[in-house]
Structure formats: structure tokens, C-alpha cells
Amino acid sequence: MNKMTIKVKTDKLKLWYGDKQALNGVSLDIYENKITAFIGPSGCGKSTYLRCLNRMNDLIDNVTIKGKVTLDGHDIYANGVDEVAVRKKVGMVFQQPNPFPKSIYDNIAYAPLMHDMVKKGKECDALVERALRDAGLWEEVKDKLSESGTALSGGQQQRLCIARTIAIEPDVILMDEPTSALDPISTQNIENLMTKLKEKYTIIVVTHNMQQAARIADMTAFFHLGNLIEYNETEKIFVNPKEEKTEQYITGKFG
């Protein structure tokens, strides 16, 4: 691995829900055009950390965040930076496929139109097609673009959600356990898609499934009780972990 550019950098990131501290100062560099996986037992803070990267935690009352998160060296929590603008650069895919109650076409076109990225008509049609192609969904839905997005199967819905995220052309895509609600075949489709997408985007994925992390991730970070225990190339984490906790976790001693 050579020529690694830092895309997202966090410095001593701490987070409290009310009085309860959920992140105890996480410092982490995430590299461009790589898949970075976060693993760890539930409640370890990996999803909380992920949601700090596109300021989704702002939606929860009573959250205090300290530390620094930068995207290409730009502080996303700086004064005057709007969380809406951050989220346009850092897209997110959720655990539960959550297509909008709109047609497949509108699911994709909604955000680009609102962001004034394209005009209605041909330009928009092209964008929708491109996004669906990139998400590997085009062949399956090209004849039923006006049907409701909620009528698709679970795996298709998740790819639709990825497609609509791609459509706003973010730099980074966050994925919060994107396959945990899907069957094995759909999971495989999504995993293949992720490997393809990393050519264009930086992907950060939270997963419960260690095999998944081993299969697709270039880098893996292990979280435990709000701390970043170990962060390294995936192979090293799984084959030769430095920390005892990491080893215990990947060998199934707890979790």
C-alpha cells in the first residue's frame, strides 16, 4: 500500500449523551479510496463515532461533542459550517433500507434537484441512470422507474439507497451495518458493489460481521467501550493483532 492520502481525520473526539460519555477521545485517520471497517461489540461506540463524521449526532438532544473532525483538512464542526452542507459531502447508508415513499426515479432525483445540481428533464434522467448503474440496479429497475421504491425487495431497496447517496456525488460514504437486515445473496451484491465504489469514494462501514470486514475492508478499527483499541490494515488486525482485547474479540471470546 503506497500513496495513502488522509481523507477524514479525527483528533481526540469525545462525545457525551447527557452525562454519559460514549466516546473517550478517538483519534483516527481514514484514507481516501479505501474501505475502512469499524468493528466491536454492541455499545462500543462505533456507530456513534460514524455518525459524528456527517454530524448526524446533531439530531439528538443533549449531545456534547468535543475534539476535531476534518474532511480534507477542513473542520466540519467549525463555526459557520452548516451540517446540511457537511452531509452533502459525506453521504450515509443505514442499517434498515429506508427508501422514500416515492417512485424509484424520485428517490434518486429528489436530493440532486433540491441541491440544484441538475435541472429537471434530460440532465436529471441521465443522473438517475448513472446513479442506478453505479449501484448495479439499473438493469433490474429500468422498466419500472415510476414504481414505488418501497415495493422493491430488501436488497434492491438497499442498493437504491446507495444509488441515491451516490447521486449527490459525496466524497465519503458512511455505511451503518448496511447488510445486517439482508439475506446472504443481497449481502454479497452489496459487498461487491462496495469494492467497486471505493475507486471513486472513500467508504467507511460499521459492521457486526467480522468476516465481512475481513472480506472487504482495507483498514479495520476495533472499538471497545468508547475507545479505539486498535487500528491497522485489515490483514494485520485479523492475523496478528497487537492488542489482547482485539484478539479476544476476533477469536470470539466476547462480543
Partner 1 sequence: MLSRKFKEQIIEILLMFASLITILTTFGILFSILFEAIEFFKMQSFFYFIFGVDWFPEADRFGALPLFAGTFYITTIAMFIAIPIGLLSAIYMSEYATKKVREVLKPMLEILAGIPTVVYGFFAAITIAPAIVEFFEIFGFHVSFQNALAPGIVMGIMIIPIISSLCDDVISSVPKHVRHGSLALGMTKSETIIHVVLPSALPGIISATLLGISRALGETMIVVMAAGLQANMTWNPLETMTTVTVRIVDAMTGDQEFSSPETLSAFALGLVLFVVTLSINIVSVYAIRKFHKKYKISNL
Partner 2 sequence: MDNYFHIPQLARRKAKAKRFKYITMMALMASVAFLLFFLSDMIIKGHGAFTQTYVKVPVHINEKTAKFTHLSIERKEYGFMVSRAWLRGLKKTLKENPQWMNTNQERWTLANSNVDQFIKGKYNRLKPKQIQKIKQMQKDGKIERRFNIIFFKKGDSKIPEFSGFMASIMGTVMTMIITMLIAVPLGVMTAVYLEEFAKDNKFTQIIEVNINNLAAIPSILFGLLGLAVFINFFGVPRSSPLVGGMTLALMSLPVIIVSSKAALKSVPDSIRQAGFALGLTKWQIVRDHVLPLAMPGMLTGAIIALAQAMGETAPLIMVGMIAFIPDISGSFLDATTVMPAQIFTWSGMPERAYVERTAAGILVLLGILLSLNAVAIYLRKKYTRTW
Interface positions with partner 1 (CB under 8 A): 54, 56, 59, 61, 84-88, 91-92, 94-96, 98-102, 110-111, 114-115, 150, 161, 164-165, 168
CB of 205 to partner 1, least distance (A): 15
Q: How many residues bind partner 2 (CB under 8 A)?
A: 17
Could you say which of 16, 68, 77, 81 contacts partner 2 (CB under 8 A)?
Answer: 81
Partner from partner 1, partner 2, none binding residue 56, C-beta < 5-8 Å depending on class: partner 1
82 binds partner 2 (CB under 8 A): yes
86 binds partner 2 (CB under 8 A): yes
Task: Give the burial class of 143: count Cβ atoms within 10 A of its Cβ; 0-12 exposed, 13-18 middle, 19 or more buried.
Answer: exposed
Could you say which of 15, 50, 69, 76 contacts partner 2 (CB under 8 A)?
Answer: 76
User: Whose grid coordinates read 449531545?
Assistant: 63
Closer by beta carbon to partner 1, 4 or else 151: 151
Q: Are 1 and 57 in contact (CB under 8 A)?
A: no
Q: Are 48 and 23 in contact (CB under 8 A)?
A: yes
C-beta atoms surrounding 192 within 10 Å: 12
Q: Are strands 20-31 and 6-17 parallel, antiparallel or unpaired?
A: antiparallel
Residue ranges of alpha helices (H) inside 102-153 are 104-114, 122-134, 138-141
Tally of CA atoms within 13 A in the half-sphere of 233 that contains its CB: 7
75 binds partner 2 (CB under 8 A): yes
Q: What does the longest C-alpha to C-alpha distance in the chain come to? A: 57
59-67, 70-78, 146-154, 222-230 -> range binding partner 2 (CB under 8 A): 70-78
Closer by beta carbon to partner 1, 6 or else 60: 60
CB of 76 to partner 2, least distance (A): 8
C-alpha cell at 246: 482485539
123 binds partner 2 (CB under 8 A): no
d(CA 23, CA 30): 17
Q: State phi, psi for 44 to the nearest 5 degrees.
A: -85, -10
Residues found near partner 2 in the complex (CB under 8 A): 71-72, 74-76, 78, 80-82, 84-86, 88-89, 114-116
